[in-house]
Amino acid sequence: MKTIILIIFSLFSLNIIAANYNVATDGSGDYTTISQVNSASFSPGDSIFFNRGDTWAETFTIPSSGSSGNPIFFGAYGTGADPIITGSDTRTPVIHVNNNSYIIIDNITIEHCASDPWHGAIRTGTTSTVGVVIQNCTIQDNRGSGISLQGSSTATSVTIDNCIIQNNGQFGILISDAFTSGEIKDCQILSNGGYADTDAQQFSNIQGNLSNFEIHGNTIYNAAPGTTTKLSESHGIYSSSATTITCNIYNNTIYGNLAGAGIKARYSVNVYNNLIYNNGYTAISLGGNGTTNAVYNVHHNITYGSVLGYGSLSVTLKGSGTLDANIYNNTFYKSGDAYNSTKEVSISDNLTSLNVKNNIFYAADGRGGIRIDTTQSNADIDYNLYWKDTESGVPNNMYNGTTYTTLAEWQALGFDTNGVNENPDLVNPTSDFRLQSGSPAIDAGVDVGLTTVGLPDIGAYEFGTSAPIKLQTDGSNVYYKLTNGKWWGGN
């Protein structure tokens, strides 16, 4: 009996051993054409490798699903440039995941997809796709969009990792439907949306239903290059679909998106630890929530140099849904240059709640720190530092249509009773926003739930640190331990 069981178990084990297949245009592999791969059937754990240096002018429709822990892997082998799959500017998509799940696409160049903004050069499908990973790929020079993520309310676990997504005519990444989890990380996403004027459509580098997405470690710039008709509409990142589920955007470098904001979000979002600079309009633009309740948490960001001078952060167009904004420990530097009324931060509507603490407002000459256009019924604004290089550094803030030049005038409204009106002594603004020894921002902040040890400094950096060195989590929040022993972080 033991012998029979062993034989049966051995046969079953042999039956699930994964297989490797090579694809080469010279006939040296298991397959020559992508059409042959499309017609094959693969098992969970199988790997299909495309020969480096080869090019296929076909549509690749993935034929099979893997399983949890045993994805089907489509990658590269050999030496030379990554294998290329091209749409020859006539086919769309170039790679169709075809509603399959547990798929990895690795080290493949996808280019020259035909025009189709909603489907993309890589398209996941329209149903409950699960466990799709696109990594180490170059998606470029497509007339349409780079990647189109489609799914349903049960689609989950899609990852785009360490990819170059560039020079696509429409969206860089478009998320059309809700995913229960997704991640875009460590990518370079640039110069997408060049056909904005031709197609009469705004195109952002990343756009769509970003609920449940983690977007981090990316470099994102130059959306809709050259547009003259879609100015203010084409952004680095745009969270545009109605949802109460939060998107997390952190540790990104976002710059040079001259046709719009660095980050634009209508619905709930956590924006933290980003470097955002030299975008055409506002660095961070929030609002337009309509009937959906939204919470905006913005902390530990560095922003500077809005090209058209619309400021570092704006919250506007509150709908009938509740809207809460928490703005903590940011360094806002000289982004309001276009108009005298432009401030580093602008709040246009009476929000459900507004909390502004521990921020550095370093305004451009003749400008100001914060502008609030209407009476706020539930605002807590305190422990902020205001400065500019001229006019004795006065805040020059605005509230409900009136300018309050000095800190004392501003404090008479009940704001910033613990505020500071001194030079923060930054090491070297635009290249190093750390605090120098003796800065009045050191230990001048207040605990807002993002620190657990010691008094926080005002601004994005804690004195004596250059980067987090240790990670700790309490199950829902993440904290970074700095070299001076303090903690910061959250979300």
User: What Å distances lie between residue 150 and 59, 75, 120, CA to CA?
Assistant: 18, 22, 10
Query: Tell me, what's the pLDDT at 341?
Result: 60
Q: Give the mean pLDDT of 51-68.
A: 97
378 located within any domain:
no
446 located within any domain:
no
Task: Domain count for the chain, please give it.
Answer: 1
Cβ atoms within 10 Å of 431's Cβ, excluding its own: 7
Helices (H) and strands (E) in the chain, counts: 4, 46
Q: Give the mean pLDDT of 423-431.
A: 93
Residue in 181, 182, 188 with CA at minimum distance from that of residue 162: 188
222 located within any domain:
yes
**pLDDT over threshold 50, residue 233:** yes
Query: Tell me, what's the pLDDT at 153?
Result: 66
- Please provide the average confidence, as pLDDT, over all residues in the chain: 88
In sequence order, the 6+-apart residues with CB closer than 8 A to the CB of 264 are 204, 235, 237, 238, 239, 240, 284, 285, 286
210 located within any domain:
yes
Boundaries of domain holding 63: 18-260
> Alpha-carbon distance 264 to 243, whole Å?
15
Structure tokens at 36: 């042959």
**pLDDT over threshold 70, residue 338:** no
477 located within any domain:
no
Residue in 348, 359, 341 with CA at minimum distance from that of residue 314: 348
> Alpha-carbon distance 41 to 60, whole Å?
14
298 located within any domain:
no
Query: Tell me, what's the pLDDT at 337?
Result: 58
Q: Mean pLDDT lowest for which of 61-75, 88-102, 477-491?
A: 477-491
Ranges of beta strands (E only) in 300-389 are 302-304, 313-316, 323-328, 331-333, 343-347, 353-357, 360-362, 368-372, 379-382, 385-387
410 located within any domain:
no
CATH code for the domain in which residue 213 is found: 2.160.20.10
91 located within any domain:
yes
pLDDT digits (tens, 9 = 90+) for 26-45: 999 999 999 999 999 999 99
